Structure 1
């Protein structure tokens, strides 16, 4: 009986440790205080020039505004989707909008890119 109890506890611990990983795969970012942040707490942005679920931010733009990359074979559901970038890599999108972070945001919660050139915006919760 002791061995069975120990095995059950070990199984439950393994399942609990796997849950955050599974949640991350399903939702690469989350809403915090009305705005979207990635799992490091960094602000997530949208780009007005993106259209039809396609990213228009490539090359130097993508260096300044790193896309939220999706690993090969990533699955998405609900409002989340995975789009193919011009270079063939995959990027997460939410509600059809490709998502990015901003290289000048140095710590969680910063929003230095909000309103940049009137085309970059913090992804906010729609009520």
Structure 2
């Protein structure tokens, strides 16, 4: 009886669609954008605040991941950037960024940068 319940539950979980925003997807244990570039979060951003702590020169080095979907499925969402009004993609309420120094897909040079930037590991 227990095995049947477990097997049925496991089958339901494995067949359920995974929720990913069209803009990002998991690869090699990290989130990447459609071009395969690593996606990051910033410790100074407060999850759920609806704001980004990265602006001006920060955005030159850490460009925002701009959402292409109006309402991505949870745990993704969007915030409206104060500087240009663009919709920035979020993960669990934290804005997402790329790192300018990552040159090719799979690079993660920004992971743990100054102990405040981290590759997103779903």
Pair in the same fold by TM > 0.5: yes
Q: How many residues align?
A: 100
Q: Shift of the alpha carbon at 1:27?
A: 2.5
Which structure has the larger Rg?
A: 1
Q: Contact 1:27–1:80 (CA<8 Å) still a contact in 2? A: no
Q: Which runs of 5+ in 2 are unaligned?
A: 1-19
Secondary structure of 2:111's counterpart equals coil
- Find the aligned partners of 2:77 and 2:71 in 1 and give their Cα distance: 8
* TM-score, L = length of structure 2: 0.76
Residue of structure 1 equivalent to 2:28: 33
- Find the aligned partners of 1:84 and 1:38 in 2 and give their Cα distance: 19
* TM-score, L = length of structure 1: 0.73
Q: Contact 1:53–1:93 (CA<8 Å) still a contact in 2? A: no
Q: Shift of the alpha carbon at 1:78?
A: 1.6
Residue of structure 2 equivalent to 1:45: 40
Q: Contact 1:42–1:107 (CA<8 Å) still a contact in 2? A: yes
Q: Which runs of 5+ in 1 are unaligned?
A: 1-24
- Find the aligned partners of 1:37 and 1:92 in 2 and give their Cα distance: 12
4+ aligned runs moved over 4 Å, structure 1:
none
Q: What is the RMSD of the two structures over their aligned residues, measured on CA atoms?
A: 1.6
